Amino acid sequence: MTSQTTIDTTGPGDRASADPSEPTPAAGLRGHPWLTLITVAVGVMMVALDGTIVAIANPAIQKDLGASFSDVQWITNGYFLALAVCLITAGKLGDRFGHRQTFLIGVTGFATASGAIGLSNSIAAVVTFRVFQGLFGALLMPAALGLLRATFPAEKLNMAIGIWGMVIGASTAGGPILGGVLVEHVNWQSVFFVNVPVGAVALLLGLLILLDHRAENAPRSFDLPGIGLLSGAMFCLVWALIQAPTWGWGDIKTWSFIGASALLFVLFAVWETRVAEPLIPLGMFRSIPLSAGVVLMVMMAIAFMGGLFFVTFYLQNVHGMSPIDAGLHLLPLTGMMIVGSPLAGAAITKLGPRVPLAGGMAATAIAMYGMSTLEADTGSGAMSIWFALLGFGLAPVMVGATEVIVGNAPMELSGVAGGLQQAAMQIGGSLGTAVLGAVMASRVDSELPGNWAGAGLPKLTPEQLDQASEAVQVGVAPVVKGMPEALVAKITTVAHDTFVSGMSLASLVAAGVAAVAVLVAFLTKRGQNAEAGAGVGHI
């Protein structure tokens, strides 16, 4: 049975019905599918631009604010935590009150929080406003996917998501270069101010072009107990992942939060079977393709985000590149995402998602294995090969897994599906950063004492060794002014070789995760976009 969508054409009291399998009727510019795509792409571009700019700016932030390695992780993890906790609820807000409204609020709040970060002069303020960025980003991202899902017919949705992914790739590619220019010639704060004019453009376009879409059977109530249980479960899980490298994976605090998360997830599942309008109808997960798409997104993010976290430190601290040079060296990765995303959309439309997704994860696994072979003196050509292959592998996964999740969900749950897609990615990113960060820390802690002694360097006290280990984890040589040049050279060699050894092991772990994801990809199938409920309860 085909679900009907209610579309605002002039105002709250003037509505017309349209089949979601057909292009949305629009009066003038408002509601035009391709203009809608441009509008949401500008908003999402702001988020993508922010991600890569922050990655390039991290070393400068660390140096200027005197931040520790864990502080730098919190710039990323605070953002992930807010996103992961709020994405699904934010998607439900869009389903309930309209994706246009939540998109506009998200754009405005994200740009405002970015400006506040630019005015910050302490690491605590940066992390605090990064959390606010996460909260408003949680409103923006599911709403963007919900608007595309409601606006484009089934046969054009893959291509629309492919172009959407291309814009994200272009923003990701431009971020490191723009961020490098600003960090090198202005200051790190200026990279956040870039989001303010981009957000203003997205807001203006949204007010002029976006049309509100609400399914007739959209929820009319709000599952507050469900929101509380799910938010608590997500918080405990992501908090455990973030703190595990500090507390230790064997620490009782780590497992207490993981246990609390599991208990809250169970209580949430029980509650959702009893409430009239659940936050997440659990019948969604009877769709094996949808569930596989969520798992695939988690695994892709573990491999990509966890691995990429160390690459900026490798380029800047080990190779001594400027932020601009580091951004240029990442162009093969992001450039291939630009090229690959629309090609992936076309391939998925023609072949279905299984082969492109499996091929993409296989390419990702090979690329991460290749990155494990990088040395402290590896040339730009070798690096570019693996970065390009990684970008080419990620493109079909970003496009295909998104379409599998959103396309296999009912129209009235498109916001929840968009929230699931983004939550999976953020949890995967947090998991990747935590686990691969733990792998890095463990390898550095185990190898640094032996490498230090083997180089004939002066013996360190336990406190000095801890400080040296923390520096080496980000590729920094623990040297001080006034040291003889010969001693500086020895310490630098030991530090860089130890860092590269840790990055190599982390890349191998990421490659293993990507290899397993190849099998998961074969469980996916094309979304039933023309039939809103077809993805629930069917395989």
Kind and range of the H or E run holding 16: strand 14-18
Q: Would you place residue 104 in the very low, low, confident or very high pLDDT band (cuts 50, 70, 90)?
A: very high
CB 361 within 8 A of CB 393: yes
CA 184 vs CA 122, 224, 254, 372, 481: distances in Å: 20, 47, 39, 29, 23
Name residue 283's amino acid.
Answer: G
**Three-class SS state of 391:** helix
Within 10 angstroms of residue 481's Cβ, the number of other Cβ atoms is 5
Question: How confident is the model at residue 538, as a pLDDT?
Answer: 32
Name residue 58's amino acid.
Answer: N
Predicted confidence (pLDDT) per residue in 3-45, tens digit: 333 333 333 333 333 343 344 444 467 777 888 888 988 888 8
Predicted confidence (pLDDT) per residue in 307-354, tens digit: 677 888 899 889 988 767 877 888 888 788 878 877 887 888 788 888
- Distance, in Å, from the CA atom of 58 to the CA atom of 130, rounded to the nearest integer, reads 13
**Three-class SS state of 492:** helix
Predicted confidence (pLDDT) per residue in 165-214, tens digit: 777 767 766 777 777 778 878 788 888 888 899 899 999 999 998 887 66
81 by Cβ neighbours in 10 Å (0-12 / 13-18 / 19+) ranks as buried
What mean pLDDT comes out for the span 389-406? 83
Please report, in angstroms and rounded to a whole number, the separation of the first and last CA atoms in the chain: 17
**Torsion-angle region of residue 475: left (phi > 0), alpha (psi -120 to 50) or beta?**
left
Question: How confident is the model at residue 362, as a pLDDT?
Answer: 94
- Distance, in Å, from the CA atom of 43 to the CA atom of 171, rounded to the nearest integer, reads 11
Predicted confidence (pLDDT) per residue in 457-515, tens digit: 888 888 888 888 888 888 888 888 888 888 888 999 999 999 999 999 999 999 999 99
**Three-class SS state of 90:** helix
The winner for highest mean pLDDT among 82-86, 409-413, 485-489 is: 485-489
More confident residue, 113 or 431: 113
**What's the mean pLDDT when you consider all of the chain?**
80
Name residue 272's amino acid.
Answer: E
What does the buried/exposed string (b/e) look like for 46-60 if buried means 16 or more CB atoms within 10 Å of the residue's CB? bbbbbbbbbbbbbbb
Question: Is 523's pLDDT higher than 80?
Answer: yes
Predicted confidence (pLDDT) per residue in 40-62, tens digit: 888 888 887 776 677 778 778 87
- Distance, in Å, from the CA atom of 389 to the CA atom of 443, rounded to the nearest integer, reads 26
Instruction: Extract the tokens encoding 496.
Output: 């860089």
CB 530 within 8 A of CB 20: yes
